[in-house]
Amino acid sequence: MLKLIKWDFIDYAKRSYWLYLAYAAVLAITAVLPDDIRYLSALVDGVGAVFGLLFYGYTFFLSATEPIGWLRKGSTQLELSLPVPPWKVLLSKLILAFGINVSGLLLTELLWSTIDRYGMSRITWFADLSIALEYAVCLLMLLICVMLSYIAAKSFGFTRNRAGFVTALLTLFLPTLLIGTMSTVLVIAGAWDVSSGYPDEITVLSNGSMTWFESTLGILGAVFVICAGFWASCRLFEHRFERYQAGG
């Protein structure tokens, strides 16, 4: 398993080294250049601020596509020929995608911390550990949702040739279904009070005495989604996924 993860990270580094070299160059310039050079300092800080935003956005995109991107390449058969169970292959891709996203997040904040203008150095992604954990859980659910959507699209004949469209549709539908289901449960259980006003105004208030139920449902729901999504992905990948059709 560790060798598989190592190989995935090395392969990613070979494909995306240029991105991190560009980041290192921008970071070095913004950190070394004095802040009192007229016009030039402001220009460099502005470039650094915009680059940080683009860097995080691009690494986020890479992390979202990494769990399925390898299935669209010619090297897929080589990876599938490895003597490892399918669940280890998928888990390795998830770990890589998670690492890409977190690295992009932390490196972006490091870059912004060197920029004194525009309030960039005061930006903090997470106010406390609980928010960081929430981000990690939501990110993991998103990655599994994308992976499950693509594998499901490639597992059935009537969606296989439209896998790209079906994947996008499922990626939007599954979180919407999840949010709708959990919201309904919270309303039925009395954890949320929903009232309607005029004109066409709907107010949702949290019931303070049911905070424990809301928190428990959120934790158990996240664990269920992650475990069930990964299990379903592995089952479909092992028994129904079309391995020999490129593209889509």
The residue ranking higher by pLDDT, 186 or 119, is 186
Over range 182-204, report the average pLDDT. Answer: 74
Over range 158-171, report the average pLDDT. Answer: 86
- The predicted structure's pLDDT at residue 245: 47
- The predicted structure's pLDDT at residue 108: 92
- The predicted structure's pLDDT at residue 125: 75
Give 246's pLDDT tier (boundaries 50, 70, 90): very low
74-94 pLDDT, tens digit per residue, is 666 666 666 778 888 899 999
- pLDDT over 90 for what percent of the chain? 30
Torsion from C-alpha of 230, 232, 237, 240, nearest 10 degrees: -170
- pLDDT over 70 for what percent of the chain? 89
Average pLDDT in the chain: 83
- The predicted structure's pLDDT at residue 144: 93
Cα–Cα distance, 226 to 143 (Å, whole number): 9
Give 195's pLDDT tier (boundaries 50, 70, 90): confident
Cα–Cα distance, 217 to 200 (Å, whole number): 29
5-53 pLDDT, tens digit per residue, is 888 898 899 989 999 999 999 999 888 887 777 778 788 888 888 999 9
Which tokens in the block code for residue 135? Answer: 């981000």
- The predicted structure's pLDDT at residue 147: 92
**Taking 90 as the threshold, does the pLDDT of residue 204 lie above it?**
no
- The predicted structure's pLDDT at residue 197: 64
Give 60's pLDDT tier (boundaries 50, 70, 90): very high
- The predicted structure's pLDDT at residue 248: 47
Angstrom CA distances, 110 to 42, 66, 143, 236, stand at: 18, 24, 24, 40
Over range 190-214, report the average pLDDT. Answer: 72
Listing DSSP states for 35-80 in one string gives: TTSTTHHHHHHHHHHHHHHHHHHHHHHHHHHHHHHGGGSTTHHHHH
